[in-house]
């Protein structure tokens, strides 16, 4: 199964408008009605209900010059057990000059024996700003599931004006249970999350974001390569989701002057 979603917005007649849409099942794109004061939204849907070994999903999402757009996932992405082959997800995010692009996923849930390789690449033009993130949960924690083996390779690349300014890769393979339990690994965490903010002055957000972290949260906020980087480890996936949402709402309001709220689909 190979799905494709290409979505491009261009600024015309004073608004960000859909300029290009190409979608191949099982990927589909919805365009929810947004309340007054909000920016256009494009919601990505995997109609198959999940991803298995050998599947590939390719997403190319662009906010053209001067556009302010939010791309989001309609629901959590489930990565099911593989009989051997890896599942691959490629995400390309492009922000034109003066654009604001949000890429707001929901959780990626890895099932026992899942094999996922995902790469997210951000391409930022001069004067653009981008807010992007990801959440990973190892097993359906509400059902007390545990992941003991599988593969996760989570890679990020950020380029500004064509120059690579930050790259990062997390790789867990084989005995995932030991890596999750190790003090030098995940330290018993069953969920992890990342938020990146690319903007002209990320340092002004560091202290306020640290104040949003829940008490005793294993979380950090720092500047790396001119980016504001937030990361969490948690043994409570629901608590991590709440804190992720609180930080996201603050950053979009503080940096872009947008409502401190999340899309209605986030709460479904």
For position 224, what pLDDT does the model report? Answer: 94
**Interior/surface letters 106-141, b for 16+ CB within 10 angstroms, e for the rest:** bbbbbbbbbbbbbebbbbbbeebbbbbbbbbbbbbb
In this predicted structure, the answer to whether residue 33 has a pLDDT above a threshold of 80 is yes
pLDDT level of residue 14 (50, 70, 90 thresholds)? confident
pTM (predicted TM-score): 0.95
Residue-wise pLDDT tens digits, 217-237: 899 999 998 999 999 999 999
On the question of pLDDT at 142 being above 80, the answer is no
pLDDT score recorded for residue 17:
95
**pLDDT interval class at 174 (50, 70, 90):** confident
Average confidence score pLDDT of the chain: 94
- Average pLDDT on 177-203 reads 94
Tokens of 34: 């947004």
Domain ranges of the chain: 2-267
Q: Give the N- to C-terminal CA distance of the chain in Å, as an integer.
A: 27
**The predicted structure's pLDDT at residue 232:** 97
- Cα three-residue angle 65-69-74, rounded to 5 degrees: 150
Is the model's pLDDT at 143 over the cut of 80? no
Going by pLDDT thresholds of 50, 70 and 90, the confidence category of residue 57 is very high
Higher pLDDT, 142 or 154: 154
On the question of pLDDT at 140 being above 90, the answer is no
Q: What percent of the chain has pLDDT above 70?
A: 100
3-state class (DSSP) for residue 136? strand
Higher pLDDT among residues 268 and 153, named by residue: 153
Least confident of 101-105, 153-157, 262-266: 262-266
In whole angstroms, what separates CA 171 from the centre of its chain? Answer: 17
pLDDT band for position 70 (50/70/90)? very high
Distance, CA of 29 to CA of 149 (rounded, Å): 32
Asked whether the predicted pLDDT for residue 248 surpasses 90, the reply is yes
């Amino acid at each position: 199964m190979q799905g494709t979603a290409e979505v491009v917005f261009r600024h015309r007649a004073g608004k960000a408008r859909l300029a290009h849409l190409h979608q191949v099942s099982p990927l589909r794109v919805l365009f929810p009605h947004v309340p007054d004061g909000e920016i256009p939204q494009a919601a990505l849907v995997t109609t198959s209900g999940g991803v298995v070994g050998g599947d590939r999903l390719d997403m190319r999402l662009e906010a053209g010059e001067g556009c302010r757009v939010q791309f989001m996932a309609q629901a959590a992405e489930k990565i099911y057990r593989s009989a051997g082959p890896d599942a691959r997800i490629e995400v390309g995010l492009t922000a034109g000059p003066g654009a604001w692009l949000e890429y707001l996923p929901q959780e990626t849930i890895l099932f026992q024996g899942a094999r996922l390789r995902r790469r997210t690449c951000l391409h930022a033009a001069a004067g653009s700003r981008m807010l992007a993130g990801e959440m990973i949960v190892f097993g359906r924690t509400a059902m007390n599931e545990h992941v003991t083996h599988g593969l996760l390779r989570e890679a990020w690349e950020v380029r500004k004006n064509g120059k690579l300014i930050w790259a990062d890769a997390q790789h867990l393979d084989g005995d995932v249970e030991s890596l999750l339990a190790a003090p030098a690994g995940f330290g018993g965490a069953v969920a992890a999350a990342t938020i990146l903010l690319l903007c002209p002055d990320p340092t002004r957000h560091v202290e306020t974001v640290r104040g949003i972290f829940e008490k005793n949260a294993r979380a950090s906020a720092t500047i790396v390569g001119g980016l504001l980087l937030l990361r969490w480890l948690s043994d409570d996936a629901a608590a991590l989701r709440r804190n992720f949402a609180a930080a996201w709402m603050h950053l979009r309001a503080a940096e872009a002057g947008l409502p401190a709220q999340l899309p209605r689909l986030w709460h479904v």
